[in-house]
Structure 1
Amino acid sequence: MKLLNRKNIQLVVMIGVVLFLFAFTSKRNESRKIEKTDVQFVGENNLLVTTEIVNKMLIDKSKQGKSIDKDKLDLNTLEKTISNHDMIEKSEVFVSIDGTLKAVVTQRTPIARFIDDDTSFYIDSKGDRMPLSKIYAARVPLVSGRLTSENQQEIAALLKILYTDDFLKKNITGMRIENNGDVFLRTRNYDYDILFGKTINMEAKFNNYKAFYQKAVSDSSINYYKKINLKFTQQVVCTK
């Protein structure tokens, strides 16, 4: 019985010591000063926003910058501030054990650039409009014509196919949207226009174009065409 009591007492003491050390360490960790900031960008895309810009948002929003205590930081507010930037999709902000205020940033991905006489903007991978970057111009297809709130998501779905398909991304450089909803595509290396038609049966149309392209290149006839019509999913109509 005495042995059991002794073991119980030792166990209670050990638990107490562990809890004390945990509380002491946590309190000391919270009161540490922020020593530095570190910004990391996710992915391999070219930077549409600089490390300096994100750092400035971190420091300005935390008011005292590097001298602030860790327990006085509002990490949720910092994340919202960074994520609300026009070029940023989302961010994660946290403080590492060594006192570094870190921001892991995912940028928005432009997949096309719309141009007309009055305005110019990107369309991102979610189909939303985003402003041009002041530090980097993305190499994406140029879009012109009738882009409205009604057809924007349909056009964005077409642009996503162009962006994610290696062959199309390499060869298609532009798009024109007619008032009747028909889409024309421009190629990088050839003079013909591609009449894509409406934004329906898109995968089938592109598969037809790839089959035509492969045959026309192999028999050297591709340079003779002026217009490639993909409106009919059962055939490709070519005009010389």
Structure 2
Amino acid sequence: MNWHMQINWNFLKFTGLLLTVIALYGFADYRSRSKNIETISIKFLGDNDLYLTEDAVNKLLIQNYGGVKNTAKEQVVLNTIETIIASNEMVKSAQVYLSIEGELISKIVQRKPIGRVEGISKFYLDDTGRRMPLSRYHSARVPIITGKVTGKSLEDAYVILDYVNKDDFLRKNVIGIHIEDEGKYQLKFRIENFVVNLGGVENLDEKFKNFMAFYIKAAKDRTLENYAVVSLEFDNQVVCTKI
């Protein structure tokens, strides 16, 4: 009998302890959720170049959400805030979460420009091949795209710039793409008055291998400044025009 009573007593003690823990947890959770948001922390991940500022993000939230500070944590809809921030044309993705201390933390990845179109309309081409507006906060140092800008020629310009950005030498030396026509592209290099007629975007590997062989030899012979135009349009050959 005593043995059964002892078991029951232990069971009751354990149940009581468990209920106390659950009650305390529920109270802490309630206090946490009913606590107001004290601060907003905006963190930009990746590049240091800011095409968007903290102030601009805060204004975006105030305009579309009515402000977040001093709002009860349980009233804040994180998905909605993420969607609002991601709606900005400079934002690639946004992640928003709340800290226990009542801080709203937003981690933002910005879009990355790889070319700048200079024509009737001016805009960036980003690293996914989409149009991106210019920023009033920062100007990107990227190759300038000029000439006959169309949907197709922009797609080709993206293919060329994507290739250029994967090569250290080309990334440092190609400063522009001139679109003479669809399928006819000219690269401008950092060397003064030095252009490369690329032709179309087919066989880029082969074209640039041939170009690099020419460039290394000409640089070694110190004859680079003698050339005005280098053409890679013809199969497996480099045709040069001297100044």
Bin the TM-score by the shorter chain.
over 0.9
| SS of equivalent residue, structure 2 residue 106 | strand
In the alignment, the residues of structure 1 paired with residue 232 and residue 7 of structure 2 have an alpha-carbon distance, to the nearest angstrom, of 86
Q: Which is greater in Rg?
A: 2
Give 1:58's match in structure 2, choosing from 42, 61, 81. 61
In the alignment, the residues of structure 2 paired with residue 208 and residue 13 of structure 1 have an alpha-carbon distance, to the nearest angstrom, of 81
In the alignment, the residues of structure 1 paired with residue 189 and residue 154 of structure 2 have an alpha-carbon distance, to the nearest angstrom, of 22
Deviation at 1:26, TM superposition (A): 1.2
| SS of equivalent residue, structure 1 residue 150 | helix
Compute the TM-score of the two structures, normalised by the length of structure 1. Answer: 0.92
Q: 1:123 to 1:180 in 2, by over 3 A?
A: closer
1:238 maps onto 2:222 in alignment: no
Give 1:159's match in structure 2, choosing from 151, 154, 161. 161
Deviation at 1:168, TM superposition (A): 1.0
Letter in 1 for 2:186: F
In the alignment, the residues of structure 2 paired with residue 58 and residue 13 of structure 1 have an alpha-carbon distance, to the nearest angstrom, of 46
| SS of equivalent residue, structure 1 residue 30 | helix
Deviation at 1:85, TM superposition (A): 0.6
Q: 1:61 to 1:17 in 2, by over 3 A?
A: farther
Deviation at 1:206, TM superposition (A): 2.0
Deviation at 1:41, TM superposition (A): 0.3
CA contact (8 A) 1:92 1:103 kept: yes
Q: Which runs of 5+ in 2 are unaligned?
A: none
Letter in 1 for 2:217: K
Matches within 5 A, 1:127-166: 127-166=129-168
1:37 maps onto 2:72 in alignment: no
* Residue in structure 2 matched with residue 28 of structure 1 by the alignment: 31
In the alignment, the residues of structure 1 paired with residue 87 and residue 67 of structure 2 have an alpha-carbon distance, to the nearest angstrom, of 21
Matches within 5 A, 1:40-189: 40-116=43-119, 118-189=120-191
Deviation at 1:74, TM superposition (A): 1.5
* Residue in structure 2 matched with residue 14 of structure 1 by the alignment: 17
Q: Which runs of 5+ in 1 are unaligned?
A: none
Deviation at 1:3, TM superposition (A): 4.0
Deviation at 1:201, TM superposition (A): 1.4
In the alignment, the residues of structure 1 paired with residue 151 and residue 29 of structure 2 have an alpha-carbon distance, to the nearest angstrom, of 51
In the alignment, the residues of structure 2 paired with residue 165 and residue 13 of structure 1 have an alpha-carbon distance, to the nearest angstrom, of 68
CA contact (8 A) 1:193 1:227 kept: yes
In terms of mean alpha carbon deviation, does 35-44 or 141-150 score higher? 141-150
Deviation at 1:106, TM superposition (A): 0.7
CA contact (8 A) 2:50 2:138 kept: yes
Task: Give the number of equivalent residue pairs.
Answer: 239
Q: Report percent identity of matched pairs.
A: 35
Deviation at 1:64, TM superposition (A): 4.7
